[in-house]
Amino acid sequence: MKDRYENPLCSRYASEEMQRIFSPDFKFTTWRRLWIALAESEKELGLPIAQEQIDELRAHVDDIDYDKEAEYEHRLRHDVMAHVRTYGDACPKAKPIIHLGATSCYVGDNTDVIQMRDGLLQIRTLLVNAIAALAAFAEANKDVPTLAYTHFQAAQPTTAGKRASLWLQDFLYDLERLEFELDHLRLLGCKGTTGTGASFLELFGGDRSKVKALDEKIAEKFGFSGCVAVSGQTYTRKIDSFVLNVLSGIAQSASKMATDIRLLAHMKEFEEPFESEQVGSSAMAYKRNPMRCERIVSLGRYVICDVQNEALTASTQWLERTLDDSANRRISIPEAFLATDAILQLTINVIRGGRLYPKVMEKHLSEELPFMASENILMDAVERGGDRQELHEAIRQYSQDAAARVKLEGGENNLLELLLADKRFGLTRESLRGILDVRKFVGCAPEQTEEFLDGCVRPVLSKYKDLLGVSANVRV
- Phi-psi region for residue 77, left (φ > 0), alpha (ψ -120 to 50) or beta? left
Residues designated as active site: 151, 281
Rounded Cα–Cα distance for residues 294 and 166 (Å): 20
Rounded Cα–Cα distance for residues 356 and 215 (Å): 55
Compute the CA torsion angle 299, 185, 62, 46 (nearest 10 deg).
Answer: -170
**Own/partner pairs for 319-327, CB < 8 Å, 24+ apart?**
319/232, 320/194, 320/195, 320/232, 320/233, 321/105, 321/194, 321/232, 321/233, 321/234, 325/234, 325/237
Quote the longest CA-to-CA distance of the chain: 104
Compute the CA torsion angle 303, 307, 308, 314 (nearest 10 deg).
Answer: 160
Residue 367: count of CB within 10 angstroms of its CB: 14
Rounded Cα–Cα distance for residues 160 and 143 (Å): 8
Adjacent-strand bridge partners of 146: 158
Q: Is 153 helix (H, G, I), strand (E, B) or coil?
A: strand
Adjacent-strand bridge partners of 149: 154
CA-only gyration radius of the chain, Å? 31
Rounded Cα–Cα distance for residues 382 and 389 (Å): 10
Rounded Cα–Cα distance for residues 413 and 373 (Å): 13
